[in-house]
Amino acid sequence: MNEIVGMAVTGFGVAFLFLGSLGVFRLPDVYNRLQAGTKCTTLGAFCTTIGVGIMEPEWFWKTLIIALFILATNPISAHALGRASRKTGVPLCDRSVLDKSKEFEEYRKGR
């Protein structure tokens, strides 16, 4: 029973890891790549480590610590990267339709 549930959770996480990497490879600009590469891989790594912990019950607490660490630190590094690329002026792709950050900058400059 443990084996089957753990294998299912691990398979779910591995599928998300692969899809996140595919998004990083295929999407058009930095912000889209960051979105695919941080959300999908956070969920994927969380489910993979928890699934291994379910399959091997003595390892559960250690895998829980690893999963919580990933859950806490991955969004921080993604946010730092996104802010750095925004501040250094990496352009958006041609097909993007809305740029709220630029509107806010113009509003602050005009006031």
SS3 7: helix
User: Dihedral of the CA atoms 15, 18, 19, 25 (nearest 10)?
Assistant: 180
Longest C-alpha distance within the chain, in Å? 64
CA distances from 109 to 18, 36, 83, 84, 102 (A): 43, 32, 19, 20, 11
If one asks whether residue 85 binds another protein (CB under 8 A), the answer comes out as yes
> By rule CB under 8 A, what string of x and - marks binding of each residue 7-36 to another protein?
x--xx-xxx-xx-xxx-xx----x--xx--
Applying the rule CB under 8 A, the residues between 92 and 111 that interact with another protein are none
Q: List contacts with another protein (CB under 8 A).
A: 7, 10-11, 13-15, 17-18, 20-22, 24-25, 30, 33-34, 37-38, 41-42, 44-45, 48-49, 52, 55-56, 59, 62-63, 65-66, 69-70, 73-74, 76-78, 80-81, 83-85, 87-88, 90
